[in-house]
Amino acid sequence: MCLPLMAEGEFALVKHHLEAAIKKSDLSNDALHNENEGYAMLADLAVQQRDEAALRHYAPLIEELARRDGHKLYQAIAHRACGVAHRLAGDYVEGEARLQQALQLFEGLETRWQIGRTLRELGELAQAQGDVTAARDYFSRALAAFEAMQAVPDAERTRAILESLA
């Protein structure tokens, strides 16, 4: 069973609150500690929603800030967001390059859930290119990562995708 992503209205509400928090002059008393975190969350939400316009808007913002601050986690999130944006636009070569950069950074940080999510994005890219063998490999690796950390919803989504490839 494929679980639904965040409903469109929920995404708009979260997006609205994050944007408002980022615009505040003093974020020290808010849940957001800096604009990096806010833009990273907005880019990640856009990835989950497959919102190409939001990806094109937020990915460059988080990429610039993460590069400026030398923040590897947010650099990886930016690479993944750019990779998904390129895949959605049909630019598979650049999409794969950006997703591979994200994967390399996440692996260096040993962020297992982020690794699994990026492997799933690489699976979707391979599937979009009609490469079922590569897609199956990426989805299998993502599933193993999610199962190892008991990320049940992600494991179920990924398992459903794998089953649809059979």
Which distant-in-sequence residues (6+ apart) come within 8 Å of 43 by Cβ?
54, 55, 58, 59, 61, 62, 77, 78, 81
**Model confidence band, residue 160 (pLDDT cutoffs 50, 70, 90):** very high
What is the rounded CA–CA span in Å between residue 120 and residue 138? 6
Choices 1.10.1660, 1.25.40, 1.20.1070, 1.20.58: CATH for 7-109: 1.25.40
Lowest average pLDDT, out of 21-30, 56-65, 82-91, 106-115, goes to: 21-30
Average pLDDT over every residue of 35-45: 87
The answer to whether residues 46 and 40 touch, using CB atoms and an 8 Å cutoff, is: no
Range(s) within the chain of domains with CATH label 1.25.40: 7-109
Average pLDDT over every residue of 74-91: 97
Lowest average pLDDT, out of 34-48, 125-139, 146-160, goes to: 34-48
pLDDT given at position 30? 46
pLDDT tens, 110-131? 999 999 999 999 999 999 999 9
**Model confidence band, residue 36 (pLDDT cutoffs 50, 70, 90):** confident
pLDDT tens, 59-73? 999 999 999 989 999
